[in-house]
Chains A and B, each alone.
Chain A
Amino acid sequence: MSKFFDYFPPPRFLEMPYIGLNITPSAVRFIEIIKGKAGFEVGSYGEKKFKETTELLPALEELRDKNKIKFVKASLPDDKAYVFNLEVPDASEAEIHAFIEFHLEENIPLALEETIFDYHLINPKNAIVSALPKIVASEYVEILQKANLIPTSFLIDSQAIAKAVVKDGDAGTYLIVHIDYTRTEFSVVSEQYVQFNSTLPVGAENFTAAVSKQFNLSEEEARTMKKEKGFLKSKDNTDLFFALISTASVIKDEIERIYSYWHTHTDRGQVVNREKIKKILLVGKDAAILGFKEYLTESVRTEIDIANVWVNTLNYDEYIPPIEASDALNFATAIGLALPK
């Protein structure tokens, strides 16, 4: 059947062409992935930053008008969502759904009638359940509708990032650290699905603010300084290093906490036999600050790498994306959303 559709693809109009839209408290980013000669290619893309949440709607409207967008796959914030693993009976889809409904309130602090959830079976006896308050989804639907955009699906941030940075078919376990402007999201991904996530209200802007304060610079100057010198350990750079380290250590501590939790956490007194975290993948523009990766490597016991956000999208030998590599790190969520199933 798939071969048939390779030769006779359904009209693009019927596929409801969508873009991946990442909505954060400080910016909206979108990207369109289209089928090109060499596989997937980047269509339109863009980012709009804002300071107040009231600026979100105009930002969405601007993106819509500039890029003729109608359908979107949007991200929902990790801090509003719950992800948990549940043992399920080997039964029909409807029965598993009913089983999860029955056990939902045992796993999350939400009433069933106030919750939207979806699940994925990792194996016949284990499901990853993703849930969030109905009101959150409705708020996102409402704001998108106000901007004349139609959401075709929602995905939590961390799941979208995992979709972009963990190679298809790789069942390994990774800790993904996404440093956004105002927050940092941590998620443990195993067998392609987010199994655990947490958020810290510390992000790239905190690095900038620390530099700005230390050297009494404007935001823009502080950003440039951060980008050019970063965590490089040298006699000339000691002040900057210590200015950045206050924020970086918070992130490092959280990484250690999650690492330790993942490997030692017990479930009802039983040690859960989880696969070891193979690698830590860094996402977000500030993840690429000079020396940051090295700083983390010194204190964390596992391999750390900057994520390749295009790993499931394109091959550099065949196609060079129009977004700079460091900027693309900010688009990981949008790329994950824009990728087809």
Chain B
Amino acid sequence: MFHLLPEKQKKVLRREYLLRLLFVFLCFVAGSLVVASVFLFPSYLLSSRKFGDLEERKNQIKANITAKTDPNLGKFLTSLKGNLSALKVNRSTSSSTAYIKEVTDLKNSGIKLKEFFIDYGNTPTKIIVSGRSSTRDSLTKFYRDMQTVKDFAKVELPISDFAQDKDIDFHMNVTLKN
């Protein structure tokens, strides 16, 4: 059918139609949202209820934890930790026992050990072994045996300790290996 509309008027109509199309589209979108909201409302209620329950439970657990947490417990644990560390047998303590045992195992019948002094302040650690030897030979033997110990880097016996033949008081300096 003929239309006979001026071009300008055709443009006006086209614009009007597009506007109406846009309006219908927006109405459709809005309608879909409303329908979707209606259908989703029960689920929303259910999940919001569940969320509320979980929140409540979370708060309950939090409250329980707070109740069980004594503010002095921290201090107590810190001091306990300190005590435990003090009681902890460290390597050097245990090895000093081992060194003493090694030295005592090496002593012969002519040797009487009087004192052990272990100096942990120095690096490497030094042990001073003091005692009395009944004879010079016993001391010499003890000195040589001490030198065979693997853990000892150096064993020193002052020459003056060999001045007497009998009942010799000696001080042996042992330097441990690192």
Interface of A toward B, CB cutoff 8 Å:
11, 13-14, 16, 76, 116-120, 130, 132, 134, 137-138, 141, 150-156, 159, 163, 341
CB contact list, B1-50 vs A, under 8 A = 1-6, 8-9, 12-13, 16-17, 20-21, 23-24
Known contacts A16-B16, A150-B16; is-contact A11 B24 (Cβ 8 Å): yes
CB contact between B20 and one of A14, A117, A119, A341 (< 8 Å): that residue: A14
Q: Smallest distance from the beta carbon of A37 to chain B beta carbons, Å?
A: 25
CA–CA, A35 and B40, complex, Å: 37
CA–CA, A152 and B3, complex, Å: 8
Note all chain A residues with C-beta closer than 8 A to B9: 137, 141, 151
CB contact between A156 and one of B4, B12, B16 (< 8 Å): that residue: B4
Note all chain A residues with C-beta closer than 8 A to B17: 14, 16
- Summarize B's interface: helix, strand, loop or mixed: helix
Name the residue of chain B whose CB is nearest to the CB of A138. Answer: B6
**How many residue pairs, one in A and one in B, have C-beta atoms under 8 Å apart?**
61
A-B interface, 7 closest residue pairs, ranked by CB to CB distance from nearest: A118-B2, A154-B4, A130-B2, A153-B3, A137-B6, A141-B9, A116-B4
The residue in A76, A153, A159 that gathers the most chain B C-beta atoms within 10 A of its C-beta is A153
Name the residue of chain B whose CB is nearest to the CB of A135. Answer: B6
CA–CA, A150 and B6, complex, Å: 13
Contact A152 B2 (CB under 8 A): no
Note all chain B residues with C-beta closer than 8 A to A132: 4
CA–CA, A138 and B21, complex, Å: 27
CA–CA, A118 and B20, complex, Å: 26
Contact B16 A154 (CB under 8 A): no
Contact A141 B6 (CB under 8 A): yes
Please count how many residues in chain B sit with their CB below 8 Å of the partner chain's CB atoms.
Answer: 16
Known contacts A11-B24, A14-B24; is-contact A153 B12 (Cβ 8 Å): no
Note all chain B residues with C-beta closer than 8 A to A152: 5, 13
Contact A134 B6 (CB under 8 A): yes
The residue in B1, B9, B24 that gathers the most chain A C-beta atoms within 10 A of its C-beta is B1
Note all chain A residues with C-beta closer than 8 A to B6: 116, 134, 137-138, 141
Contact A154 B5 (CB under 8 A): yes
Name the residue of chain B whose CB is nearest to the CB of A76. Answer: B4
Note all chain B residues with C-beta closer than 8 A to A341: 1
Note all chain B residues with C-beta closer than 8 A to A156: 2, 4
Q: What are 6 of the A-B contact pairs (CB < 8 Å)?
A: A13-B20, A118-B2, A141-B8, A150-B13, A153-B2, A154-B4
Name the residue of chain A whose CB is nearest to the CB of B3. Answer: A153
Name the residue of chain A whose CB is nearest to the CB of B23. Answer: A13
CA–CA, A13 and B1, complex, Å: 22
CB contact between B4 and one of A14, A16, A137, A150 (< 8 Å): that residue: A137
CA–CA, A113 and B9, complex, Å: 17
CA–CA, A44 and B150, complex, Å: 123
Note all chain A residues with C-beta closer than 8 A to B12: 150
CB contact between B5 and one of A14, A137, A163 (< 8 Å): that residue: A137
Q: Smallest distance from the beta carbon of B134 to chain A beta carbons, Å?
A: 124
Q: Smallest distance from the beta carbon of B31 to chain A beta carbons, Å?
A: 11
CA–CA, A118 and B13, complex, Å: 17
CA–CA, A118 and B102, complex, Å: 124
Q: Smallest distance from the beta carbon of B41 to chain A beta carbons, Å?
A: 27
